[in-house]
Amino acid sequence: MSKDKKDGYKKDRVEISYIAMLILSLFMCFAELIVGHTTHSIALVADSFHMLFDIISLLIGFVSHHLSKQTPDEKLYPFGWSRASAIGGFINSSFLLSLCLIIFRHSTERIIHIQEVENTTVVLVTSILGLIVNIIGFFIFHSLDNKSFLTNIHRKFKAFIKKHKNLHQEGNSIFLILILFRPFFNGCIK
């Protein structure tokens, strides 16, 4: 397969990934919003609005991905659209910041005026489905990266094991020192 075909395939995968996550997120946004309102669960309503902002972020990412592929126009846009993804990221972060403030306001209102959540099993199932959609999105967009996900996990796990062994050895050393000085501590502490 030539390099051009590989690049075209990867670009198609990016667009398909955006579309697939848009569909999944739209479904979960409406499901969480409906279940959240019927059960009076502020967590589900907040998560549905978070999904809505994810949808907006996906749309901005999709548009900025298309714009960044365009060739520069010497007269109108001499640098092209290569910064469209950075501007899209700025807009996304602005949306998420406003969402955090809205959720904070509603949460403080809910602390003052307590409202009981109804039908918690439906809330739990909907929350788990939302988590599954987020995990699927993580794997979809992480698979677009050139690096292998499992290789990164293996490398981080090896680093964790190495740190754990070092801490274990340091703990053993400290414990050995405490045992050696035990007669001294027994005389001081009564």
pLDDT tens figures, 41-56 = 888 888 888 888 888 8
Q: Sort residue 114 into left (φ over 0), alpha (ψ -120 to 50) or beta.
A: beta
pLDDT average, residue stretch 149-159: 60
pLDDT average, residue stretch 113-139: 84
pLDDT average, residue stretch 91-117: 81
Give Cβ neighbours of residue 64 (< 8 Å, ≥ 6 apart): 84, 85, 87, 88
With cut-offs at 50, 70 and 90, classify the pLDDT of residue 34: very high
pTM of the model: 0.60
121: pLDDT strictly greater than 80: yes
